[in-house]
Amino acid sequence: MDALSRPLSPPELDTLEDFLASPQFEYRAMELPTLEGFLTALVIGPRMVMPGEWLPRVWDRYDAAVAPDFADAGQAARITSLLMRFMNGIADTFLNDPGAFQPIFWQPERRGAPEWCEGFLAGTAFCEAEWAALWDEEPALFAPLMRLGTDEGRAMIREDGETEVWMKLVQPMLVAIHEIWLQARTVPPGSGDEGAFDDDDAAGEDPFVHPEPEVGRDDVCPCGSGKEFEKCCGGGDRSVH
């Protein structure tokens, strides 16, 4: 397996989780299950979303108004690298064996199925029109998200005692959604097979793998803002990208 797609080890997941839980974010950064759900929606969705679009939501899931205050360039490179590898590992699994993907909430030490589904729903906001069209066409497909990722749905499953039943439906739901968007991205233009979910901007059938950054203070920030690293995530300017 390519090093850039290698799944994060448990200690690396702990490092990323601890950083996101640091006091500087005032509990606004995504928790690890939320982050994985969020990244999964981006990976299997209708088009590639650049890091400059989605990274601000990782640091501040509510308003995208809080940027990280890294201790130094080394920490910034380390955390950014872990984030990109986390996303790339998801992409690699869906590229090679979608049925093998297991959401992190099945790990006893992680849990967080509701947070995972909330993260996935947040990830659909970047291609809102395309996801809405799919939702209208296949509403039953999204039932696990609605049951686990919304207050109303969680109240219903608590009453019925069926939380685990819906958790088990998340993985096959993801495989089905991945296949739908994969087909939509790979239908040749003008073939007559384009459906409601065709996206002219989507390129290629393979999930995009972000390169692991090696960041110098004068380099362009890997978050996608276009600014120098020193004036962006590496220090100085803390404004939203």
Question: Would residue 240 count as lying in a domain?
Answer: no
Structural domain boundaries enclosing 149: 3-231
More confident residue, 10 or 232: 10
Under the banding of pLDDT at 50, 70 and 90, the label for residue 109 is confident
Question: Would residue 183 count as lying in a domain?
Answer: yes
Tell me: pLDDT of 142 over 80. Answer: yes
Mean pLDDT of the chain: 83
State residue 33's pLDDT score: 96
Q: Mind spelling out the 3-state secondary structure of the chain?
A: CCHHHCCCCHHHHHHHHHHHCCHHHCCCCCCHHHHHHHHHHHHHCCCCCCHHHHHHHHHCCCCCCCCCCCCCHHHHHHHHHHHHHHHHHHHHHHHHCHHHCCCHHHCCCCCCHHHHHHHHHHHHHHHHHHHHHHHHHCHHHHHHHHHHHCHHHHHHHHHHCCHHHHHHHHHHHHHHHHHHHHHHHHCCCCCCCCCCCCCCCCCCCCCCCCCCCCCCCCCECCCCCCCEHHHCCCCCCCCCC
Question: Would residue 237 count as lying in a domain?
Answer: no
Question: Would residue 241 count as lying in a domain?
Answer: no
Tell me: pLDDT of 233 over 70. Answer: no
Over range 80-85, report the average pLDDT.
Answer: 94
Over range 114-135, report the average pLDDT.
Answer: 96
Question: Would residue 88 count as lying in a domain?
Answer: yes
* Number of independent structural domains in the chain: 1
Tell me: pLDDT of 213 over 70. Answer: no
Question: Would residue 238 count as lying in a domain?
Answer: no
Question: Would residue 239 count as lying in a domain?
Answer: no
Nearest to 77 by CA among 210, 208, 217: 217
How far is it, in rounded angstroms, from Cα 230 to Cα 135?
42
State residue 2's pLDDT score: 61
Question: Would residue 131 count as lying in a domain?
Answer: yes
State residue 149's pLDDT score: 94
State residue 93's pLDDT score: 94
- Dump pLDDT digits (tens) for 12-39: 999 999 999 999 999 999 999 999 999 9
Q: Look at 35-44, 51-60, 61-70, 183-192 and tell me which has the smallest mean pLDDT.
A: 183-192
Over range 149-161, report the average pLDDT.
Answer: 87
State residue 226's pLDDT score: 56
- Dump pLDDT digits (tens) for 164-198: 899 999 999 999 999 999 998 876 555 555 444 44
Tell me: pLDDT of 224 over 50. Answer: no
Report percent pLDDT > 70 for the chain. 76
State residue 35's pLDDT score: 98
* This prediction's pTM: 0.79
